[in-house]
Amino acid sequence: MRYDADMVEPQVEPVRLEVNGIERRLFVAPHRTLLETLREDLGLTGTKHGCELGECGACTVLVDGVAVLSCLALTLDADGAEIVTIEGIGSVSHPHPLQRSFADHGAAQCGYCTPAMILTAKALLDRDPHPTDREITEAIAGNMCRCTGYLPIVRAIAAVAAEDRP
C-alpha cells in the first residue's frame, strides 16, 4: 500500500500557556519543545537556542517561577503554566534591576548567554533575595558563558542582591 504523508492527519494537541502575562492558546505536536514553541511559534527569540542537549543553559526560561531548560521541556507538559522569558521582565526604557546591573558590570559581552543568566538569577533572587557569592555561583553553574569569565556576572547579581529592594 502506498504511503502518502499528505494523507496523515497532523497530530497536534491544544495547549494553554500564560507567557509574560499574556494567555496563549496553541496547537502543538507532542514532541514540540518549549524552546521551539517560544522561538518559532511565538517569536520570542530572546530565549536562545544552544546545544539542545541540556548542557549550555542558553534556553533557560521560568516556568511557574522555576528556571527550566526549555530545550528539554515539552510544550504540552507546560499546559496551564506561567512562562516568563527575557522579553517579560523589562524593557529598554524600564530595565529589570538585573538587566541594569549586567550592563553596569560588563556582564554581557556577546550576549548569547545573557537572557538565560538573567532569568536564572531572577529565579534565585525570587527565592533568596540575599544569596552569598557562592550561592550565586552555584545557581548559575548550569549556564555557560564563553566571554566573561563569569566574575562580572557574579558581581552583577551580587550587586542586585545587595540592593535594598522590596
Backbone angles phi, psi at 151, to 5 degrees: -60, -45
The helix (H) or strand (E) run that includes residue 159 is helix 151-162
Tell me the closest approach of the beta carbon of residue 92 to ligand FES, in angstroms.
19
Cα–Cα distance for residue pair 38/28, rounded to 1 Å: 12
Nearer to ligand FES, 46 or 128 (CB): 46
> Locate cell 548559575: which residue?
140
- Beta-carbon-side half-sphere exposure of residue 159 (alpha carbons within 13 Å): 17
Interface with ligand FES in residues 59-78 (CB under 6 A) = 59, 69, 71
Interface with ligand FES in residues 94-113 (CB under 6 A) = 108-113
Cα–Cα distance for residue pair 98/33, rounded to 1 Å: 27
Site string for ligand FES, 19-58 (x = CB under 6 A): ------------------------------xxxx-xxxxx
Cα angle, residue 156 at apex, residues 58 and 163 outer, rounded to 5°: 130
Tell me the closest approach of the beta carbon of residue 142 to ligand FES, in angstroms.
8
Tell me the closest approach of the beta carbon of residue 78 to ligand FES, in angstroms.
15
Site string for ligand FES, 128-147 (x = CB under 6 A): -----------------xxx
Tell me the closest approach of the beta carbon of residue 31 to ligand FES, in angstroms.
16
Q: Which three cell numbers, joined as nine digits, stand for 26?
A: 496553541
- Binding status of residue 148 toward ligand FES by CB under 6 A: yes
Cα–Cα distance for residue pair 65/127, rounded to 1 Å: 9
- Binding status of residue 115 toward ligand FES by CB under 6 A: no
Cα–Cα distance for residue pair 144/60, rounded to 1 Å: 11
Q: Which residues contact ligand FES by CB under 6 A?
A: 49-52, 54-59, 69, 71, 108-114, 145-148
